Amino acid sequence: MADSQTFTRIAMALPGTVSAPHFDRTAFKVKRTFATLAADGMSANIKFTPDEQEFKCQLAPEIFEAIDNGWGRQGWTTMHLARATGEDIAAALEMAHAHAVPSKPKKV
């Protein structure tokens, strides 16, 4: 189905996104990191809210899996790319990207 090239293309198309090395992964970020791609290209970690994580994992457990540690309790979720479609990737990245975009200052 999908692969690391599809993931990278979609992530980099999101406004303001840059990529950078992150340990043995590639991070995608705006103000904050919203996704990382594994070095083997088989999976990615996506930053959801805990509620979004629960929804995604219930909706498509073959694609999404909560990380079993403190990062996972914060919403970090593994996405298995071979089981996902481009639409699955786009929806997940758009959701995570929205949380990483700097908020606009309030006018007084």
Per-residue pLDDT in tens (0 to 9) along the chain, 108 residues: 799 999 999 999 999 999 999 999 999 999 999 999 999 999 999 999 999 999 999 999 999 999 999 999 999 999 999 999 999 999 999 999 999 987 776 666
Q: What's the pTM value of the predicted model, to 2 decimals?
A: 0.92
* Cβ contact 72:66 at 8 Å: yes
- 107 found inside a domain: no
Would 52 be classed as within a structural domain? yes
The domain containing residue 63 runs over which residues?
A: 4-100
Residue 105, in any domain of the structure:
no
Q: What is the CATH number of the domain that holds 60?
A: 3.90.1150.30
In the chain, the number of structural domains is: 1
Q: What is the pLDDT of residue 102?
A: 78
